[in-house]
A and B are shown apart, each in its own frame.
Chain A
Amino acid sequence: MSLASILVPVPGRSDAPRQVVTPPPAMTKDAPRTAKMVIESLTAYYGSHAVLRNVSLPVVERTVTAVIGPSGCGKSTMVRCLNRMHEIIPGTSVSGRVLLDGLDVYGRHLDPIELRRRVGMVFQKPNPFPTMSVRDNVLAGWSLTGTKPPNADDVVENALRRAALWDEVKDRLKAPGGSLSGGQAQRLCIARALAVQPDVLLMDEPCSALDPIATARIEELIHELASTVTIVIVTHNMQQAARVSEFTAFLYMGDLVEFGDTAGIFTRPSDPRTEDYITGRFG
């Protein structure tokens, strides 16, 4: 088998037999991979302006998918379509489909609240809630949805450990969320996202506001998390994409120019625009 198959659950039935979709050309892993999410002909608008056009790609389960491309090409817009955060901006709309475990996230089966619990998000600028303690920040995904975790202390410790922050904050869980350093604050945001046990974690340039040491810690963390969570990370740092991701999508002016396994994209890009971008000729 020259190309790996990506198995896609049949829409509407998560336990149904899985259907094989055309794999991206550059994908060379032999084991069949399951697509946790599938983006199909996604077009996203601000008003009447389509900033993302006809994008289709799978997001493979328990791997890291990097989204790269020059500033303004639609990276953030794309990931925000995956948890329906795009629609919180007035005047926006989307067409096409986004499937999570075979269910259309824009369909009637999933409401945005349920979807966002399953597809967590970490933003560019660390944004812990300043009026909440560290502990309450971690639990915010529960309290803000009017739910209670089975055992709050365990949830807090677990999430903070997974975010590699526990040892640094275990003695000041009551301190305000705004009292942490930039890197710690970002890991707190990761813990907050992880605390509701999401299947997918979207990260929109999570390191761009951090120093190199904090960045290295987050990258390490992404590696560890990828064994349990499906991660989509937006980055404009090519080295970062190469370091942390297994698959890479290159967006350019709203078009998906190339998608495939990261090594292939970086060593043998098939589109001249990809090559220009990763060799630093623009962007």
Chain B
Amino acid sequence: MDALEAVRLRPVSPRLGRRRFADRVFRAAVFGAVIVVLMPLAAILGTIVVRGAPALNWDFLTSLPKPVGETGGGVGHAILGTLILALGGLLMAVPVGVPAGVFLASDRMPRLAGAIRMCADVLAGVPSIVVGMFAYTLLVLPFKQFSALAGAFALSVIMLPTIARTTEEVVRLVPSTLTEAALALGAPRWRVMLKVVLPSAGKGVAAGIIAAFSRGAGETAPLMFTAFGSQFLSFSPLQPIAALPLVLFNYAVSPYDDWHAQAWAAALVLAALVLAGNVIARFATARRSS
């Protein structure tokens, strides 16, 4: 008698029916919950694609805004501005965040590490407008000048916890056997970090940086009173600079229909940028852990 037969021959418990029913109800509930979670995402993406696509074309992506009343024009300055701001933010956040993550993963000075970890978590929870305020007080007020620098700084504060915590996470995943091998060769700790651990964790660290990039690229509030926005193409760190979220906001609240259409298209571009970053980060981490 094989196992299957044994199961078949076992007398059916009177509770079996009830259990099957409970199982079905539970499955239905879980399935329903998944739908409810996915629906807003689908609705948002669907709406911005449907409403943003008509205004989207090469000209929109590359040209500057036209004065009110003229049709056409684009958000090339804002796409560039967002890239500049986000990269500038990374330029400030990476040199602090990566070493901080490495330190957190090293399990040295547990008290200090605990304090830093808590700061990072609190920072991650600070409303982004407060971060903007902070950057405004620090870098705008004293110079009486909105600037790309202040905007990038505000974004760097937003990016910092993401970078530090993902770096910590992926550095922890590097097998301690590698660290030991390097230390046993007489390598000082900093060189072990630089030449063995970080290269091994490289993809994961990069994924964290890309995730921080897309997080920063999508922020609006910290830029409103730092980078401020601009109608022009600007490469100066000391001048106001345009950013997609700011354009989106300004166009959306404007009274003009063609600006509304452009706001939707800007939303589509911004969402695509952020999503692309997240997807790249996902893929990088997936390959690392395989």
Contact = CB atoms under 8 A, between A and B. Distances in A.
Given A90-B108, A131-B199, A144-B196, A112 B186 contact: yes
B187 A85 contact: no
A123 B195 CA distance: 20
A182 B175 CA distance: 17
Interface residues of B, number: 21
A71 to B, nearest CB: 18
A41 B183 CA distance: 25
Interface of A: 83, 85, 88, 90, 112-117, 120-121, 123, 125, 127-131, 140-141, 143-146, 189, 192-193, 196
Contacts of B177: 123, 125, 127
A189 B181 CA distance: 9
A22 B186 CA distance: 33
Which secondary structure dominates chain B's binding surface? Answer: helix
B180 A123 contact: yes
Nearest to A83: B184
Interface string B185-204: 11110011001100110100
Contacts of A121: 184
B23 interface: no
A92 to B, nearest CB: 13
Contacts of A127: 175, 177-178, 180-181
A129 B184 contact: no
Q: Which are the 7 A-B pairs with shortest beta-carbon distances?
A: A144-B187, A116-B186, A121-B184, A131-B199, A127-B177, A141-B185, A113-B186
Interface of B: 107-108, 175, 177-178, 180-188, 191-192, 195-196, 199-200, 202
Given A90-B108, A112-B186, A116-B186, A144 B192 contact: yes
Nearest to B109: A90
B185 A116 contact: yes
Contacts of B195: 143-144
Contacts of B108: 90
A123 B184 CA distance: 10
A54 B237 CA distance: 66
A145 B185 contact: yes
A81 to B, nearest CB: 13
A123 B177 CA distance: 8
Contacts of A196: 185-186
Contacts of B202: 131
Given A90-B108, A129-B196, A146-B191, A141 B178 contact: no
A88 B195 CA distance: 18
A230 to B, nearest CB: 16
Given A125-B177, A127-B175, A144-B196, A88 B186 contact: no
Contacts of A189: 181
B178 A145 contact: no
A85 B183 contact: yes
Contacts of B175: 127
A112 B192 CA distance: 14
